[in-house]
Amino acid sequence: MLNLRLLSLLALVTACAPASRVTAPTPTGPMPGRPAPPTNTALPAIPLATGPVAIDVVYPTANSEIASRDSNFIFGSIGNGNAALYINGMAAPVWPNGSFMAYLPVPSRDLSRYDLVAVLGRDSTTLSHPVRLEEMLPPVTPAVTPPVTPAATADRYGILIGPSTVSNDTDRVITGQPSPDPNIVRYFLFPGTVVRTAGLAGGETVVELEPAVRFRVANNQIQAQPAGFTPPLLNIGRDTIVANSESVDLIVPATGPPAYYVSVAGSRLTVTLFGVTAAPRREGSRSVADPLLKSVSVAHSPARTEYILDLARPVFAYQPLFENGNFVLKVRRPPTIDPAMPLRGLTIGLDPGHPGIQGQAPGATGPTALKERAAVIPVALRARELLIERGATVFMTKTEAEEAVDLNLRPTMARRANVHALVSIHYNALPDGVNPFLNNGTSTYSFHIHSGRLSELTQAAMIRNMHLRDLGARRANFAVVRPSWFPAILTEGAFIMMPDQEHALKTAEYQDAYARSIVEGLEQFFREVGGSQ
């Protein structure tokens, strides 16, 4: 009887005791059901992060406007590679280091936010990330002032004044852009050039060199002249050829800086001077006793003069100048190349991209908040080591990540250093509305035709060594590739916004691959330059 009472008492005590809290064990593998991120086995392996879950959205930043009306990307990190992530109810891929990238429909205008839920075991972490949506306004076509015609009113003129950032350097030019511009044509004109204006287009002035030659310049780079202004006659004298150790120069006396255009086709340079009067006249072709320049041809018309320079080899580089009352086209002699050591004795410029000064692009950012301006520095420093090993002298526009250098001064700095080639080193990102899973890869850019071969060879080396999709060697109007005194290219080695690529570019292995690609491209390019000698 006592035993029965004791058992009953024990049962009552046990029933009244509070239940013990059961803690779910931390998972040892990825949460089930989440989408697997795309993998590239040629890239360095990504280590597993097992830290606490913490959601950090790097892009878009909170309360920023999304410039896409359909779909857009969102990326950042959740701190643990085993966790699952849901964004507005849709599963997002998570990489082993906890980085994530998703391409999703833009939130509704009523929602205007991303709701993120990270799940690890039985625990979940949430974040509400507000954004602003692009205003749904109809496209507006900017009003264009009708071109001024002589029949309607008197001609109007302006004087090009150029940007103030390089006011004391001969690289100071005004950039003119035709519209439409399918072939990426640019006119680079001297300050002080008098031009006829033909109207306004928003914040730009339409310049007319001839009825069929029009382009636009920024309003702050041209000084409009009052009605009745009479432009001074622009006379040019007899041209001469002056040879020196570094270049062979076409020198044309002129009473003012002429509007001009230079085109390159293989071993031929064509220079057109607009709005000039030639006196005395000299036309036809004449031979030149120079190992680089074979002949010069001159042709005059009422409003222009054209000079054709035929070289003994492909154009290496050139530089137009206006100084001491002369238009000068300096045709640069290619350096003498040792085939066994093609970079020996050369000066190579390296430009780690970003940041510029205030108002210029700060550079891209990756899912773990790695800044492009920091990521390119190790690549540039490694490339410098490799170039020095090969006998080159290296000029760098900067060596510290946070060192701000004006974007427009970088090519000027390189020309002052008299480099034989310039490589601007970058990592890429995409604008809103473009699917990053389908459009990432490696690309190289140049502007001038004589830089195109260096771009192609460097692109080929990056594809061999960096193992990403080939986006090609392309032509683009970037400030750092516009100089003509040396071949200049801009490399976009990888996409810092993609989690696997961002991790790769943190590793010494991948930094070395990028640097070696740049050096291999330069070596092969100058080996070919030497071969044409």
> Residue 322 in contact with residue 355, Cβ under 8 Å?
no
**Is the domain of 192 the same as that of 317?**
no
Per-10-residue mean pLDDT, the chain, length 533: 35 32 46 86 97 97 94 98 96 98 95 96 96 72 46 73 59 83 86 94 92 92 93 93 97 96 96 88 83 95 93 97 95 96 98 92 96 98 98 98 93 96 98 97 97 98 98 95 97 98 98 98 97 78
Instruction: Report pLDDT for 183.
Output: 73
* Cα separation, 296 vs 444, whole angstroms: 34
Return the exposure string of 21-40: e unless at least 16 CB atoms fall within 10 Å of the residue's CB, then b. Answer: eeeeeebeebbeebeebeee
Residue 391 lies in a domain: yes
**Is the domain of 441 the same as that of 498?**
yes
285: enclosing H helix or E strand: strand 284-287
Place of tokens 């920023």: 64
Instruction: Report pLDDT for 179.
Output: 76
User: Domain range for residue 514?
Assistant: 347-531
Residue 338 lies in a domain: no
> Residue 250 in contact with residue 311, Cβ under 8 Å?
no
Which of 300, 329, 358 lies at the terminal end of a domain, its last residue?
A: 329
Other Cβ atoms closer than 10 A to 1: 5
CATH number at residue 215: 2.30.30
Residue 476 lies in a domain: yes
**Is the domain of 269 the same as that of 167?**
no
Number of compact structural domains in the chain:
4
**Is the domain of 165 the same as that of 208?**
yes
**Is the domain of 383 the same as that of 516?**
yes
**Is the domain of 456 the same as that of 370?**
yes
Residue 190 lies in a domain: yes
Residue 37 lies in a domain: no
**Is the domain of 161 the same as that of 310?**
no
**Is the domain of 66 the same as that of 129?**
yes
**Is the domain of 203 the same as that of 271?**
no
Other Cβ atoms closer than 10 A to 487: 26
Other Cβ atoms closer than 10 A to 471: 17
Which of 183, 206, 224 lies at the terminal end of a domain, its last residue?
A: 224
Residue 389 lies in a domain: yes
Residue 51 lies in a domain: no
> Residue 129 in contact with residue 107, Cβ under 8 Å?
no
CA torsion sign, 361 to 366 to 369 to 370? negative
CATH number at residue 93: 2.60.40.10
CATH number at residue 468: 3.40.630.40
Residue 28 lies in a domain: no
> Residue 442 in contact with residue 468, Cβ under 8 Å?
yes
**Is the domain of 266 the same as that of 369?**
no
**Is the domain of 213 the same as that of 266?**
no
**Is the domain of 377 the same as that of 480?**
yes
Which of 71, 100, 133 lies at the terminal end of a domain, its last residue?
A: 133
